[in-house]
Amino acid sequence: MIECLRTREWRPVWEGNQLSGAVSTAGTERTTGRIITRYSNEDENSNLSCGGNISYLRLEPGEKVLDLGCGRGTETLQAAEAVGRQGFAWGLDLTPRMVELATERARSEKVGNVHFLRGSMEEIPLADAALDAVLSNCAINHASDKLAVYREIFRVLKPGGRFVVSDIMTDTPLPQEIKEDPEAVAACFGGAITVREYEDTLAAVGFAELDIFKERRYLKNGYEMISRTFQGRKPLQGKGVN
């Protein structure tokens, strides 16, 4: 996955649903490396999350669900329990150590209907329309290409499938030097985009209507951040943008 990121030197920039240009992703490798380092060094008892959204997903027995940026797999394991033996839960994370810890937990807790994958949420290694539900807790802000992430969520959901995400955003854009600072991105705030950009991204992909479950404002390094938990649904018919 890191190899894939390395070969991609430019990525498109979207304003609303218009392609407005391209930026170099030369910094992506640096950012990705910092994220992996940071999460490899996390204390096993530290709290990584920013929301907690599993209850809003209302999982049913037999459903298939994916947790993006699953970390140590706390919510993936809860999801596996909620969908039961007829269902299945996957957790996806960029950091090998997190995948290792989550896999070890599943083994020691004898949870059979779960699998942890190493990879990037910008290229989800699952088939089209494979899932009933996607969840993600405080992870999408780390991804440099949020449009790619939501396109992937749209692709892997079945028609009518839903996602519940907790993520970080802002009212006004963060300064460019913060956005480009791998430490700030790894610390769960530098990668935040504005509410407007976020909602435009979701609309461009085809998630037109959102339900906001909760929102909290707080200061991080002097910047006002918004932590929001929300739901979207893939329409039963029609296609997202390509």
Ligand X SMILES: C[S@@+](CC[C@H](N)C(=O)[O-])C[C@H]1O[C@@H](n2cnc3c(N)ncnc32)[C@H](O)[C@@H]1O
Among the listed ranges 6-14, 86-94, 156-164, 167-175, the one in contact with ligand X (CB under 6 A) is 86-94
Output 57 or 188, the one with its CB closest to ligand X.
188
User: With binding defined as CB under 6 A, does residue 120 bind ligand X?
Assistant: yes
User: With binding defined as CB under 6 A, does residue 95 bind ligand X?
Assistant: yes
Bridge partners for 168 per DSSP: 227
User: With binding defined as CB under 6 A, does residue 200 bind ligand X?
Assistant: no
Q: How far is the CB of 69 from ligand X (least distance, A)?
A: 3
User: With binding defined as CB under 6 A, does residue 138 bind ligand X?
Assistant: yes
DSSP for 67-131? EET-TT-HHHHHHHHHHTTTSEEEEEES-HHHHHHHHHHHHHTT--SEEEEES-TTS--S-TT-E
Output 65 or 143, the one with its CB closest to ligand X.
143
The single residue among 25, 28, 74, 231 that binds ligand X, judged by CB under 6 A, is: 74
Q: Two tokens at 134?
A: 């996607």
Q: How far is the CB of 56 from ligand X (least distance, A)?
A: 14
**Antiparallel, parallel or unpaired: β 10-15 and 18-24:** antiparallel
Buried b (16+ CB within 10 A) or exposed e, 106-125: beeeeeebbbbbbebbbebe
The single residue among 59, 82, 92, 169 that binds ligand X, judged by CB under 6 A, is: 92
Among the listed ranges 63-71, 101-109, 150-158, 173-181, the one in contact with ligand X (CB under 6 A) is 63-71
Q: How far is the CB of 237 from ligand X (least distance, A)?
A: 29
User: With binding defined as CB under 6 A, does residue 143 bind ligand X?
Assistant: yes
Dihedral of CA atoms 14, 19, 22, 23 in degrees, nearest 10, equals -10
User: With binding defined as CB under 6 A, does residue 190 bind ligand X?
Assistant: no
Q: How far is the CB of 241 from ligand X (least distance, A)?
A: 20
Give the helix/strand (H/E) hosting 132.
strand 131-137
Q: What whole-number distance in Å separates Cα of residue 230 and Cα of residue 216?
A: 12
